[in-house]
């Protein structure tokens, strides 16, 4: 199935990105640990929780599996300013959305999606622009909806241990999120609403008068396995990184 092939490619790419990003995080954490040891020997040294709760640690964005909160960092509700910063990072200033856009545009080019656009450079440019618009709209709907209701837009790594509890957490978080208390669960509506809205909007300029209901439905269905797969990789990214590092040694 095309969706499953797409998911397999995304998982492979995310695995590579997890190794790269978590390698950087591992180095940062080692440096922070050494610094914390030195600070704890001084009067009035800040606690490890004080350091973990700094604003920067609440706004982690991986270039492929998106925003997340590490297991050791307390999950804090985001205010409007932090939500806007997170939206800008995910949508404009990190290169993940541009890689994602290019990946899907190349796929569309290979499959000759919207053949009226042709298979040349001009056609690729139209496919690239369409996908980029779709993903910006998707991110915007997610950020706006979660922001208005005060719901959690990030993936939080499970505070549990064991493969199956963590896997259940990764799967369930594709369907539920938290309200502003970061404890009560709410339906994970806006990733699906964003996928639907982004896909439907692009039918306004796509040739051939595509059926917007079908396009929206396909986008929502695709979001289910892709969302679960990305959550799974985001959950186990530290372990994946350690395995890859051991193999390199």
Residues 46-104 have pLDDT tens digits of 343 433 445 558 999 998 899 999 999 999 999 999 999 999 999 999 999 999 999 99
Coil, strand, or helix at residue 82?
Answer: helix
Which tokens hold the place of 13? 């790419």
Quickly count: other Cβ atoms within 10 Å of residue 125's Cβ.
12
**Which residue matches tokens 């719901």?**
151
- The predicted pLDDT at position 249 comes to 64
The whole-number pLDDT of residue 34 equals 42
User: Would you state the pLDDT for residue 244?
Assistant: 84
CA 68/CA 165 separation, integer angstroms: 18
Strand 176-178 to 155-156 pairing: unpaired
Radius of gyration of the chain (CA): 20
DSSP 3-state helix, strand, coil percentages of the chain (rounded to 5)?
70, 5, 25
pTM (two decimals) = 0.78
Q: So what's the pLDDT on residue 216?
A: 97
- The model's pLDDT over 181-195, given as tens digits with 9 standing for 90+, comes to 999 999 999 999 999
* Strand residues in the chain grouped as ranges (E): 60-62, 66-69, 155-156, 176-178, 185-187
Q: Residues in the chain with pLDDT < 70?
A: 1-56, 248-249
The overall longest dimension of the chain from CA atoms, in Å, is: 71
- Reading phi first (left if > 0) and then psi (alpha if -120 to 50, else beta), residue 139 is in alpha
pLDDT of amino acid 56: 56
Domains of the chain, residue spans: 2-248
Is 96:61 a contact under the CB 8 Å cutoff? yes
């Amino acid at each position: 199935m095309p969706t499953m092939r797409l998911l397999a490619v995304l998982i492979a790419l995310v695995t590579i990105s997890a190794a790269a990003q978590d390698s950087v995080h591992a180095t940062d954490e080692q440096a922070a640990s050494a610094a914390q040891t030195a600070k704890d020997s001084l009067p009035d040294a800040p606690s490890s929780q004080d350091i973990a709760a700094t604003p920067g640690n609440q706004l982690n964005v991986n270039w492929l599996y998106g925003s997340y909160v590490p297991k050791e960092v307390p999950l804090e509700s985001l205010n409007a300013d932090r939500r806007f910063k997170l939206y800008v990072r995910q949508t404009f200033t990190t290169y993940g959305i541009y890689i994602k856009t290019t990946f899907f545009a190349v796929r569309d080019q290979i499959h000759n999606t919207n053949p009226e656009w042709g298979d040349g450079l001009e056609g690729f440019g139209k496919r690239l622009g369409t996908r980029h618009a779709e993903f910006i709209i998707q991110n915007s709907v997610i950020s706006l909806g979660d922001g208005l209701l005060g719901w959690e837009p990030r993936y939080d790594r499970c505070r549990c241990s064991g493969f199956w509890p963590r896997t259940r957490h990764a799967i369930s978080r594709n369907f539920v999120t938290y309200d502003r208390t970061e404890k009560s669960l709410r339906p994970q509506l806006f990733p699906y609403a964003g996928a639907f809205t982004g896909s439907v909007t692009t039918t306004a300029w796509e040739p051939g008068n595509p059926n917007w209901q079908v396009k929206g439905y396909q986008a929502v269905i695709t979001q289910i396995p892709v969302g679960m797969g990305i959550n799974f990789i985001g959950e186990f990214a530290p372990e994946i990184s350690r395995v890859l590092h051991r193999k390199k040694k």
